[in-house]
Amino acid sequence: MWTSKRQAKKKTSSLRTAIFFILSFIASIFLMKLLLFYPLQSFLIRKTLVNPIPSPKIENKKISKVSISKIDEIKNLLSKTKIEISSVSASDSGFLVELRQGGRVIFSGNKPLSSQVSSLQLILSRLTIEGKGIVTLDLRFDRPILVAR
């Protein structure tokens, strides 16, 4: 009887160790799968995503004849008012003008350009009297947004 209890304990203990090794083996396979295949899978998924930022070549094609004519109109109006500029470029939300004295002005494409240029001239004259300069002036809104230095 003493031997049968001992044998029963041995069977139980060997069964426990066998279950432990089987569970350890399954856990290690799961862990290896997780570590090896998950980064590969996420890498493949990232490749299939669409880039939301358009390339500069596509943006250059979007400039229409209307935008080019408005750029020319901005240049003419600013030269008539003797405001010196470095460059004029079109964007989705309007037109960006770099001033030669420093600073940037954003014109709206939806509002009359002549009124925006006269507003710019008035703001520049007031800032000159105060001894300040423009960092950024946004004329796209009802009330212009000015960042002065």
Instruction: Read off the CATH number of the domain in which 142 is found.
Output: 3.40.50.11690
- Report the alpha-carbon distance of residue 70 to residue 116 in Å, rounded: 13
- Whether residues 78 and 13 share a domain: the answer is no
Alpha-carbon distance 61 to 6, whole Å? 87
Same domain, 73 and 127: yes
Q: Which of 63, 62, 86 is nearest to 74 (CA)?
A: 86
CA angle 104–105–108, rounded 5-degree value: 145
Higher pLDDT, 20 or 8: 20
**The 104-107 sheet, strands edge to edge:** 85-90, 95-99, 104-107, 134-138, 145-148
Mean pLDDT of the chain: 79
CA dihedral (35, 38, 43, 45) in degrees, to 10, reads 180
Same domain for 75 and 107: yes
With cut-offs at 50, 70 and 90, classify the pLDDT of residue 127.
confident
State pLDDT tens for residues 31-79: 887 777 666 555 555 555 555 555 444 344 456 777 888 888 888 888 8
- In this prediction the pTM is 0.56
Cα separation, 101 vs 31, whole angstroms: 63
Q: 20: pLDDT confidence band, cut at 50, 70 and 90?
A: very high
Same domain, 33 and 83: no
Q: In this predicted structure, what is the pLDDT of residue 53?
A: 55
pLDDT at 40: 58
For the chain, what is the domain count?
A: 2
Domain residues for the domain of 17 are: 1-49
Last residue within a domain, chosen from 49, 70, 86: 49
Instruction: Based on the fold, state whether residues 71 and 143 are members of the same structural domain.
Output: yes
Assess whether 33 and 77 both reside in one domain: no
